[in-house]
Amino acid sequence: MWNPRRFKHCPSCGAPVEYLVPADDNRERATCTVCASIHYENPINVVGTLPVYGEQVLLCRRAIEPRHGFWTLPAGFLELGETAAEGALRETDEEAGAQIELQPLYCLMNVVKVGQIHLYYRARLLSDQFNPGPETLEARLFSEHEIPWDELAFRTVRETLKHFFEDRRLGRPFELHCGDLS
């Protein structure tokens, strides 16, 4: 759960902040009691991929909290200085050491309760050899019937996989799915 009031002190000068509605605004913002600067808090982006190799998809078993030991698609926080696609590629390299060709954006999901937007790109795996990084216990390919549905780390991973297998089963083009998780 995001903390909508995570600022206690001003990141510019260190003085205490108060949550006040600025004159030209309609929401409470962290406002410095000394230098008067205003500090905004906004949703952040998680970017990742759905890497596909033939009939199989790649999942990574998490070596870190939250959800240690659970399976996820390679994904992580978008960083300053990169595009969403670059971030998705980087996370796939860092978490799985997988060689991919990135394909179009496939799922965009708002996870309002945690202040996040999750963006997953489809990807074509160029090899079935992986080299997982320190955040991953294991990276391996799964056929649809092998997916550990009860051991998936995040609901957006489940949604993305469900959309993919459904689109594939119905022979539909892999168009963008937008959705909200409450």
CA 41 vs CA 2, 101, 114, 119, 120: distances in Å: 10, 34, 12, 20, 23
Residue 35 binds Zn ion, judged by CB under 5 A = yes
Residue 12 binds its own copies, judged by CB under 8 A = yes
Helices and strands: H and E segment counts in the chain: 2, 11
Residues 135-174, mask of contacts with its own copies (x by CB under 8 A):
----------------------------------------
Residues 35-64, mask of contacts with its own copies (x by CB under 8 A):
----xxxxxxx------------------x
Member of 30, 32, 47, 60 binding Zn ion (CB under 5 A): 32
Task: State the burial class of residue 94 (Cβ atoms within 10 Å of its Cβ: 0-12, 13-18, 19+).
Answer: middle
Member of 15, 21, 36, 126 binding its own copies (CB under 8 A): 15
Residue 180 binds its own copies, judged by CB under 8 A = yes
Distance (Å, whole) CA 110 – CA 58: 23
The alpha carbon dihedral of 137, 143, 145, 147 has a sign of positive
Residue 76 binds its own copies, judged by CB under 8 A = no
Helix (H) or strand (E) holding 95: helix 84-96
Residue 21 binds its own copies, judged by CB under 8 A = no
Contact 88, 102 (CB under 8 A): yes
Member of 4, 12, 126, 172 binding Zn ion (CB under 5 A): 12
Instruction: Please report where in the chains the tokens 């995570």 appear, as a residue.
Output: 6
Contact set with Zn ion (CB under 5 A): 10, 12-13, 15, 32, 34-35
Contact set with its own copies (CB under 8 A): 2, 4, 6-17, 24, 27, 30, 39-45, 64, 77-85, 104-105, 108, 110, 112, 115, 117, 134, 175-176, 178, 180
